[in-house]
Structure 1
Amino acid sequence: MAGNILKAHARTPVAPKPEFLWGVSTSSFQIEGAAHIEGRGDSIWDAYCRIQGRVKGGDTGDQACDHYHRYTEDVALMRDLGVNAYRFSISWPRVLPRGRGVSNEPGLAFYDRLIDALLAADIEPWICLYHWDLPQALDDLGGWQNRDIAGWFADYATLVARRYGDRVKRFATFNEPCVFTLFGYGLGWNAPGIADKAALHKAIHHVNLSHGAAVDVLRASVPDASLGAIHNRQPCFPRSASPEDANAAQRFAEYWNDAFPYPQQFGCYPSALADAIEPYQRPGDMAQIARSVDWFGLNHYSPHYIKADSNLIGATFGAPPDDVPRTSIGWPIVPGAFRDTLLDIHHRFGLPIYVLENGTAAEDKLDIAGGIQDAGRIAYLQAYTDAMQEAISAGADVRGYFVWSLLDNFEWASGYSQRFGLVYVDFDTQRRIPKASARWYSDLIAAPRESPISSATANSVNAIAAKG
């Protein structure tokens, strides 16, 4: 489908770098803006943002960080940080406005320019094919509930692989499939806003089928491709000692932690999902899903404290215990859970691990000198990178760490109310201002620490919530 619409782009191939990677991550819908120019089609998030009351403050991704026009400035920020890798996503509706069929040359050319700018700055590009912005035209045909989407996704992956595979070798199929399926099709909290048990289980299975199809395409199209998927994996603790909460935590963990890594690695669904997904399976599906990958992508922020609920999976988020410190948006701060998660992945899946999201939101404000002294974020990042070092010292094969995020950006249903960036963005003027945490991260990259977490660092974690 894609071959006859591609232009030749002869570039020097770039092999994956063997050293530990220090990077930053973003996603297309959250930073690019330029939503209605140069042929880009609507995504489900464009449509969702237009529904009153769905996104805090009525915010949209129409402008976001205007990265589409300011990418050279943002690459320069990455170069100044000293990162050697950048994980970003392709906007499916920007390169295929209707999700399939005729491609959009201006959209494809944007990523050519971005990739070439990254390579010129000696930053390795990591492409994620899907970070939640499904073309609305495909959602109109059923989206992830339609089994045909595995073929549509494979065609999209073919287009991306043939266009950029001469310069990009690192590809992820999906970012956090547990989140966009559970929140989008099971609980109705994110686009497309559906809360239906059948929709959820069809979406889970069809995303897994699409992963396997994309791995096949990428292997066939990109010599020396290094492939994986990015999973949000976090311990799920019962909110109370009740049997109901204990059962809910176990059930939630199977949806959150295992619904995608287990079929993709072991060719089977966890027990809580197997019977529910069985009606949508066909012979050969599990073999198609369980394709060999090269690494495990991990997004981790905090553990979950789960309680029983009347929703369709019988479980939801509860408040952390009172003695657990929290970020300014209420997420628990437990570096030890990060260490334990890395070790669990190492032993359970046996793949090299790349941490592709870790970070924290804070209530960042300009000080009198025009800077941002985000001491809480620094304390969080120091504690979590120390915990990562502990896991590495205990044998975990961790090969890279990427902060979420380079820039303050559009944070889905929270709009622009949460700032995760190392770089402050004034959304009115689009001015970028590196925060104190950016300087801290640059220093860390320049002289990585060797020692495990210290008691002083552990104590500093308790101040994160207060400092924001």
Structure 2
Amino acid sequence: GIVLNLVPTEPASPSEADQEAARAFDGSFNRWFLDPLYGRGYPLDVVFDHVRAGHLPHAELPFVHEGDLRAIATRTDYLGVNYYSRAVLRSTTVPEDDNAPVTVRAADDRTDMGWEVAPGGLLAVLRRVHADYAPPRIYITENGAAYGTAPDASGRVRDLPRQRYLWTHFAAAHAAIEDGIPLAGYFLWSLLDNFEWGEGYSKRFGLVWVDYATQARVAKDSAHLCRHIIRENALTELEHDLARVQP
């Protein structure tokens, strides 16, 4: 199988300009990778975007050789989906006053990465992949949230924002399973606070808090929430499950 970072995309309004911005973003970030993997070749609308921008001399892709697309489309056993947030696209090609009023706005709830908390996007991307490409199995290979919550005076890490993030994304995954989507696994990013490739030690995604000076570790409340859900093999109500968290 293969793992892709997928970003479900919505136009900020029904305007042609915003829909075009969403199409171009989706084409470059999602379909450019998915389409050839599932036998469709590179999406022509994106190819022509690059021709118009002067990035390519013509639509015949010089880097694609005989047999490449056939090899790329070799059948896989699963698709891995890394999901963190969605994208809401507003066109910059027209003056704001000339564009349609915004009808889709990103939520104010954001992680320490500045990413919108959007569990609905996880369900949307799983539904889209299943409907358009039908991989035999899908795994959520990365999902999680960065919050810098540290141990309090009692030594407990009360990371309520991460607990809410995880619970709502678990609920989205459960909804996907109920829809008949072949979701076979879910891997959290991450078990431990760690070195992030783009952020170093400045962002903490872990279920376990790490003191980088001493390597001491403390299971966060989010770890205990995950333990509870795994033991019960069920989600009930958010506040009920949060109340069951016991360090």
TM-score, with length taken from structure 1: 0.44
Pairing partner for 1:247 from 5, 20, 35:
20
Determine whether 1:422 maps to 2:207: yes
Return the offset for 1:242: 4.9
Count of residue pairs brought into register by the alignment: 219
Quick check: 2:107–2:116 contact (8 Å CA) kept in 1? Answer: no
Aligned residue in 1 for 2:31: 258
Give the SS at the match of 1:253. helix
Q: Which runs of 5+ in 1 are unaligned?
A: 1-227, 311-319, 461-468
Q: CA 1:284/1:267 → structure 2, altered by over 3 Å: closer, same or farther?
A: farther
Quick check: 1:267–1:289 contact (8 Å CA) kept in 2? Answer: no
Determine whether 1:405 maps to 2:178: no
| Partner Cα separation in structure 1 for residue 192 and residue 62 of structure 2 | 42
| Partner Cα separation in structure 2 for residue 381 and residue 447 of structure 1 | 16
Return the offset for 1:322: 6.0
Aligned residue in 1 for 2:123: 339
Give the SS at the match of 2:80. strand
Return the offset for 1:398: 0.6
Give the SS at the match of 1:412. coil
Q: CA 1:386/1:414 → structure 2, altered by over 3 Å: closer, same or farther?
A: same
Return the letter of the residue paired with 2:198: A
Quick check: 1:343–1:395 contact (8 Å CA) kept in 2? Answer: no
Return the offset for 1:402: 0.7
**Per-residue CA shift, 1:87-116, capped at 9, x if unaligned?**
xxxxxxxxxxxxxxxxxxxxxxxxxxxxxx
Pairing partner for 1:326 from 103, 106, 110:
110
Give the SS at the match of 2:61. helix
Aligned residue in 1 for 2:155: 370
Aligned residue in 1 for 2:52: none
Q: How does 1:32-71 map to 2 (within 5 A)?
A: none
| Partner Cα separation in structure 1 for residue 16 and residue 108 of structure 2 | 22
Pairing partner for 2:75 from 292, 299, 304:
292
Give the SS at the match of 2:113. coil
Pairing partner for 1:271 from 30, 44, 68:
44
Aligned residue in 1 for 2:96: none
Quick check: 1:267–1:287 contact (8 Å CA) kept in 2? Answer: no
Return the letter of the residue paired with 2:80: G
**Per-residue CA shift, 1:399-422, capped at 9, x if unaligned?**
111101111122233222211011
Give the SS at the match of 2:38. helix
Quick check: 2:82–2:141 contact (8 Å CA) kept in 1? Answer: yes
Return the letter of the residue paired with 2:134: G
Q: CA 1:323/1:303 → structure 2, altered by over 3 Å: closer, same or farther?
A: closer
| Partner Cα separation in structure 2 for residue 323 and residue 404 of structure 1 | 22
Return the letter of the residue paired with 1:419: R
Q: CA 1:265/1:357 → structure 2, altered by over 3 Å: closer, same or farther?
A: same
Return the letter of the residue paired with 2:74: R
Give the SS at the match of 1:389. helix
Determine whether 1:446 maps to 2:231: yes
TM-score, with length taken from structure 2: 0.80
| Partner Cα separation in structure 1 for residue 47 and residue 109 of structure 2 | 36
Between Structure 1 and Structure 2, the one with more helix by share is 1
Return the offset for 1:248: 1.8
Aligned residue in 1 for 2:89: 306
Return the offset for 1:267: 4.2
Quick check: 2:147–2:204 contact (8 Å CA) kept in 1? Answer: yes
| Partner Cα separation in structure 1 for residue 74 and residue 163 of structure 2 | 38
Return the offset for 1:300: 0.9
| Partner Cα separation in structure 1 for residue 87 and residue 107 of structure 2 | 15
RMSD: 2.3
Return the offset for 1:325: 2.6
Give the SS at the match of 2:123. helix
Aligned residue in 2 for 1:282: 65
